[in-house]
Chain A
Amino acid sequence: MKRTSTIVEHLKRIQMIELLAKGKRLDGRGLIDYRELKIEVGLIKKANGSAMVKLGNTQVIAGIKVEVDEPFSDMPDKGLFICNAEVLPTASAYAEPGPPDEDAIELARVVDRGIRESEMIALDKLVLISGKKVYAVFADVSVLNTDGNLFDATSYAVVSALLTTRIPKYEVKDDRLVKTEDTIPLPINTIPVSVTMARIGDNIIVDPTSEEEMCMDARVTISTDDQGRICAMQKGNPGTFTLEQLNNAVSIAIDKGNEIRALIKSICAQAQVG
């Protein structure tokens, strides 16, 4: 019943706005604080890479499967990266099983954009036989439980899974591929980090919960790389932002992005060693 999902109790809404005026939110966070972020990698051994992310109560799982395919005819020297996202019917009472709706499709494309435009994976290093055989990296991410900010949670899951992916090493002998026993990591250029912000009245908050999303006027997701460059942006919801608010959002995205990048890096590095 989509209708019930968008109506927040009047009492809660009033409480939310009173607190925002004092720089606080219903769960005690400051305006630009993230909820607790937990990342577990390598839990799906049948996948080449995997990660489970818990951002507050939002829970998602990403799996990476790598195959050997033909490249696109107009890009013979580039490997393939395909990203899919799904909100599972387990995620909430309002999620229905079936093909992705416009929200799920937007989610998948925004996550894909953040990773592709940052050139996180060096696709030119995924070529095995030029024009004939390349690695194809499939990233599938599923939302198990929603409590707001699916954009960031799914992005962190895919990024963490990619950082800890192992692919089989191939050797080229007489124009044919021979699989070796070795595995190698994906060729990584940078770690893109997505930061999602919501506007409620004149307040900009980071990492909105479901309730906050139901009360927000507009949201924006900004992905940055480790050089502080913006590689993807998406404004959502039928509301608006002022120029000043967006400039401010970019600064927040770069600062918060660096914090989260450090966390993702340390978790993935530990996993590689351990």
Chain B
Amino acid sequence: MREFRKYVLPGDVIVEDNPHIKPLANVIKIDNRIHATRVGIAEVTQNGVKVIPLSGIYIPRVGDLVIGKIIDYSSLAWVVDINSCFLGHLLAQDVFGKEFTPSRDDLTSKFNLGDVIACRIVNFDRTRDPLLTVADKDLGKINNGEIVKISPSKVPRLIGKRGSMIQMIEQLTKCKIIVGQNGVLVVSDSSKEAINMAVRAIMLIEEEAHTSNLTQRVKDMLGGSIA
């Protein structure tokens, strides 16, 4: 079976008359044809047909690390903007523990409006808003750094195969970069110039995520000025 990649737009027929091939992601099977449902790169392999999208907002997935902003709170939970169409909820119990009581424990003592937090999606299904957690050593309030927002569909390219791309940027700029699957990143721990370089590299990847030889171009961009 022939494996191939090609650019597609919504409605484009990727394969037809092949009943054994599995539709995987961002495709739809109508009669005997598999159509793309997004603008992106179609990939046909032994495993099936999928489209890697090049645009679109973040749809939460359980297990994702996301960077959010506290925008509201009640006596029992914080409401978190996770750059998606759904608002995330962080329960007070997650932070204060099982002994939490609203009368004694004040939510604002931990997180306040505008605070930026790294959190993980614990629960999300079609019937309720995503539930978040900060109960892990790499999660919690982020106290310094520059916030960068990119299209969530470009995050996989930014991270690279087994983290190769993002690690390369961190090494060459000596920055720490926290990457949220929701397209929100925090760049920190270095000089202003180094942070600017890292941000430029990130913008380049967002712009050219669909092209080949990107890793080399990013390396060239950063190679000339090592922090």
CB distance from B130 to the nearest CB of A (A): 16
Q: Is the CB of A3 within 8 A of B147?
A: no
Knowing A9-B116, A11-B116 are in contact, say whether A4-B81 is a contact too (CB < 8 A). yes
Q: Is the CB of B71 within 8 A of A4?
A: yes
A15 to B195, CA, bound (A): 13
- Residues from chain A with a CB closer than 8 A to the CB of B116 are 9-11
Q: Is A8 interfacial (CB-CB < 8 Å)?
A: yes
A15 to B81, CA, bound (A): 20
Question: A7: which of B113, B142, B147 is its contact (CB, 8 Å)?
Answer: B113
Interface of A is mostly: helix
Knowing A4-B81, A15-B146 are in contact, say whether A9-B114 is a contact too (CB < 8 A). yes
A4 to B114, CA, bound (A): 10
**Nearest CB to that of B113 among chain A residues?**
A7
CB distance from B177 to the nearest CB of A (A): 14
A3 to B79, CA, bound (A): 11
CB distance from A268 to the nearest CB of B (A): 35
Contact-size category for B = 10 to 19
Q: Is the CB of B81 within 8 A of A13?
A: no
- What number of A-B contacts does a CB cutoff of 8 Å give? 30
- Residues from chain A with a CB closer than 8 A to the CB of B72 are 3
A10 to B111, CA, bound (A): 11
Contact-size category for A = 10 to 19
Q: Is the CB of A7 within 8 A of B146?
A: no
- Residues from chain A with a CB closer than 8 A to the CB of B147 are 9, 11-12
- Residues from chain B with a CB closer than 8 A to the CB of A3 are 71-72
- Residues from chain B with a CB closer than 8 A to the CB of A8 are 114
Question: B142: which of A4, A11, A15 is its contact (CB, 8 Å)?
Answer: A11
CB distance from B191 to the nearest CB of A (A): 14
CB distance from A26 to the nearest CB of B (A): 10
Annotate B92-116 by CB proximity to A: 1 below 8 A, 0 otherwise: 0000000000000000000011111
A8 to B81, CA, bound (A): 11
Which residues from 115 to 164 on chain B have a C-beta closer than 8 Å to any C-beta of chain A? Answer: 115-116, 142-147
- Residues from chain A with a CB closer than 8 A to the CB of B81 are 4, 7
A11 to B142, CA, bound (A): 8
A12 to B147, CA, bound (A): 7
Q: Is the CB of B145 within 8 A of A11?
A: yes
Q: Is B69 interfacial (CB-CB < 8 Å)?
A: yes
A116 to B115, CA, bound (A): 45
- Residues from chain B with a CB closer than 8 A to the CB of A4 are 71, 81
Q: Is the CB of A10 within 8 A of B71?
A: no
**Nearest CB to that of B68 among chain A residues?**
A9
Which residues from 105 to 140 on chain A have a C-beta closer than 8 Å to any C-beta of chain B? Answer: none
A9 to B142, CA, bound (A): 11
Annotate A1-39 by CB proximity to B: 1 below 8 A, 0 otherwise: 001100111111101000000000000000000000000
- Residues from chain B with a CB closer than 8 A to the CB of A12 are 147
**Nearest CB to that of B145 among chain A residues?**
A11
**Nearest CB to that of B81 among chain A residues?**
A4
CB distance from A28 to the nearest CB of B (A): 10
- Residues from chain A with a CB closer than 8 A to the CB of B70 are 7
**Nearest CB to that of B184 among chain A residues?**
A9
- Residues from chain A with a CB closer than 8 A to the CB of B112 are 10
Q: Is the CB of B146 within 8 A of A9?
A: no
CB distance from B207 to the nearest CB of A (A): 17
- Residues from chain B with a CB closer than 8 A to the CB of A7 are 69-71, 81, 113-114
CB distance from A248 to the nearest CB of B (A): 29
A15 to B71, CA, bound (A): 19
CB distance from B113 to the nearest CB of A (A): 6
- Residues from chain A with a CB closer than 8 A to the CB of B143 are 11
Q: Given contacts A3-B71, A3-B72, A4-B71, could you give 5 more A-B pairs where the C-beta distance is less than 8 Å?
A: A7-B71, A9-B69, A9-B114, A10-B116, A11-B142
- 5 A-B residue pairs with Cβ-Cβ distance under 8 Å, sorted by A, are A3-B71, A7-B69, A7-B70, A9-B69, A9-B114
List 4 tightest A-B contacts by C-beta distance, closest first. Answer: A10-B114, A7-B71, A4-B71, A9-B116
